[in-house]
Each structure stands twice: as structure tokens, then as C-alpha cells.
């Protein structure tokens, strides 16, 4: 009889091979799970950071980036230089990449594997309240320059086309000019004028809006967009809505009657005088406040 092969030894080899394969599969599964888990953590951190930062894009890029850094750190991933960037005036991007240790790293001659996540958040104004400015009723023409706010020396009286929408004076006048009023204004309604020229608050607010010039298309493009879809231009910083008033008295300060609204394209300001070009006119009630949204777009 021929001697039988050592079947026991063959079985041990087979078991060893299968066990090694099973361990490798388990290790690969654990490593893949770890990478996915870390990536999920990073994605949550970049999402939160991008959304938080985008909320401040209407202020300054620096504040927006600082806020993104704060929220990323709160979620366990302090940002490094260049990981939070303002892509456009309304979009902020946060990208991170960090090493993750693997169970199989020693066998694969790898120390770590880089895992990353990226988020882009967009800030969008969907409505701006009316600005505290009143322009006398007239036949408005496109491409023509109008003084939507008069400066010192522009007239011989005490009215400068500055309106007091909430009777609280300079602080809220500037805020309302920058971001839109938090007061609902209807047609018709009586609104008091401000008791002064509001030159300082006017210059601060107008300069802020003009600093956002890259965020607004050209006047010609805005006219084209407004004709196709009036709501399409509401988010642009240099598009402002002002009150159209009846019988705006040059001499003396008093209440004026709001009979409509007009949108203008902000062009310049100088010592409290603001100039803009006419876009369109309407009579619908102006809802209070600036409403905005932030959303993830990438």
C-alpha cells in the first residue's frame, strides 16, 4: 500500500491561510469603518463651520472666517491656515484633511492614511426691509442719477430725506440703512422725518454697502434681471428700497406721507448725501427686517 499523505498537516495549513485571510478582512473592515467614522466627524465639523461662518459674510470676511474656525474647533477639528476661505461674497468653504491611524498600518508599511472633508455654505438675502429714506414723488427715469438722501447745504430747511421709521434715532437709522428696516411700512402711511441730517450714520451705512460692490452686478445687468424677475435682485447689497413720499417739505420737520416705494442702485455717498440710479417702482407693503438663509451648496 502507498503511504497516505499527511492530511492533518494540510488541514492546518488551510486553517492558517483561512484564519490569516479572515484576520485581514476583519482588519480591512475595521480600518474602512474607522476612516468612514472619522470622515463623518470631519464632515459634520466642516458643515457646522461653513454654515456658522457664512452667517457673517454680510459683515466682513475676517469675521466669517473667525466664526468658521470657532465652530470647527468646537467640533474637534481646529482649522489650519487656508482651510477656511471666502470663495465669493456669498460663499464660504471649509476643507480639512487629517491623518487617521489604521490597524493594518504596520503590515502595509503605512503609518497613517489621510482622510478629508469639505463643505461650502452660501449666504443669501431673500428680502431686505425698506431703507429709512424718502424721495419726493416724481416721474423716475432709468439711467438718471437721483439724490435719495440729501446732505448738509443741499437745501435751506431742516429736511434731508431721512426718515425715522422707529423714532429711535441714529443707532437704528444706520442699522436700517445697512440691512433694511425691522419696521413694516404700508401704503399709505405717515412717517416722521429724522430730527437731523444723519450724516455720520448715512456715510457709515452707505460706505458699507458700497464696499460690497463686487457682490452686485452692473446697473445694466440689474435692470435686465429686474425686468425678467423682480425678486431676483433683492439680495444684492447695492439694491436699496426707499420710500416715495408726497409733498416732502423742504422747510421744517414733520411727518410725510408714504405713497409708494422705489428701488435704486446705490452709486455714491459724500458727507451724508447719497446718489443712486432708479430701477423700478411698486406699492406693495414692505415687510419688516432683513430675512436671510444659509445653506450648504457643496
Q: CB under 8 Å to 187, separation ≥6 — which residues?
A: 258, 259, 260, 261, 283, 284, 285
Cα(251)–Cα(158) distance, integer angstroms: 6
* pLDDT 10s digits, 10-32: 555 555 555 555 555 555 556 67
* pLDDT 10s digits, 94-115: 999 988 777 655 555 556 778 8
Residue with more model confidence, 97 or 291: 97
Give the three cell numbers for residue 277: 440710479
Tell me what the mean pLDDT of segment 230-238 comes to: 86
How far is residue 103 from each of residues 112, 254, 289, measured CA to CA in Å?
A: 10, 78, 55
Cα(121)–Cα(71) distance, integer angstroms: 14
Tell me what the mean pLDDT of segment 194-203 comes to: 88
Q: Is 271 in contact with 203 (CB distance < 8 Å)?
A: yes
Asked if residue 289 has pLDDT above 60, the reply is: yes
- Exposure string of 204-230, with b = 16+ CB inside 10 Å and e = fewer, is bbbebbbebeebbbebeebbebbeeee
Predicted confidence band of residue 82 (pLDDT cuts 50, 70, 90): very high
* pLDDT 10s digits, 277-286: 999 998 877 7
Q: At what angle do helices 199-211 and 170-179 cross, to 10 degrees?
A: 20
How far is residue 65 from each of residues 42, 125, 130, 250, measured CA to CA in Å?
A: 17, 19, 29, 46
Asked if residue 171 has pLDDT above 90, the reply is: no
Max mean pLDDT range (31-45, 138-152, 179-193): 138-152
Give the three cell numbers for residue 181: 428696516
Amino acid at each position: 500500500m502507498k503511504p497516505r499523505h499527511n492530511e492533518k498537516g494540510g488541514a492546518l495549513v488551510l486553517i492558517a491561510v483561512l484564519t490569516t485571510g479572515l484576520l485581514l478582512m476583519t482588519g480591512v473592515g475595521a480600518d474602512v469603518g474607522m476612516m468612514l467614522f472619522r470622515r463623518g466627524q470631519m464632515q459634520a465639523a466642516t458643515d457646522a463651520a461653513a454654515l456658522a461662518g457664512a452667517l457673517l459674510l454680510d459683515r466682513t470676511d475676517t469675521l466669517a472666517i473667525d466664526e468658521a474656525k470657532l465652530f470647527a474647533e468646537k467640533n474637534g477639528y481646529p482649522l489650519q491656515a487656508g482651510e477656511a476661505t471666502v470663495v465669493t461674497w456669498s460663499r464660504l468653504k471649509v476643507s480639512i484633511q487629517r491623518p487617521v491611524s489604521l490597524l493594518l498600518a504596520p503590515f502595509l508599511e503605512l503609518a497613517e492614511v489621510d482622510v478629508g472633508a469639505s463643505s461650502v455654505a452660501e449666504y443669501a438675502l431673500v428680502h431686505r426691509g425698506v431703507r429709512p429714506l424718502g424721495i419726493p414723488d416724481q416721474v423716475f427715469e432709468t439711467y438718471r442719477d437721483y439724490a435719495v438722501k440729501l446732505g448738509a447745504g443741499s437745501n435751506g430747511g431742516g429736511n434731508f430725506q431721512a426718515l425715522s421709521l422707529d423714532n429711535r434715532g441714529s443707532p437704528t437709522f444706520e442699522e436700517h440703512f445697512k440691512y433694511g428696516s425691522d419696521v413694516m411700512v404700508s401704503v399709505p402711511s405717515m412717517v416722521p422725518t429724522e430730527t437731523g441730517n444723519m450724516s455720520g450714520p448715512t456715510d457709515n451705512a452707505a460706505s458699507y454697502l458700497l464696499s460690497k460692490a463686487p457682490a452686485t452686478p452692473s446697473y445694466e445687468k440689474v435692470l435686465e434681471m429686474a425686468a425678467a424677475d423682480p425678486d431676483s435682485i433683492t439680495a444684492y447689497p447695492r439694491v436699496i428700497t426707499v420710500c416715495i413720499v408726497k409733498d416732502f417739505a423742504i422747510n421744517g420737520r414733520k411727518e410725510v406721507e408714504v405713497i409708494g416705494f422705489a428701488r435704486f442702485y446705490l452709486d455714491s455717498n459724500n458727507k451724508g448725501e447719497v446718489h443712486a440710479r432708479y430701477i423700478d417702482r411698486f406699492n406693495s407693503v414692505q415687510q419688516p427686517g432683513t430675512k436671510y438663509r444659509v445653506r450648504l451648496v457643496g
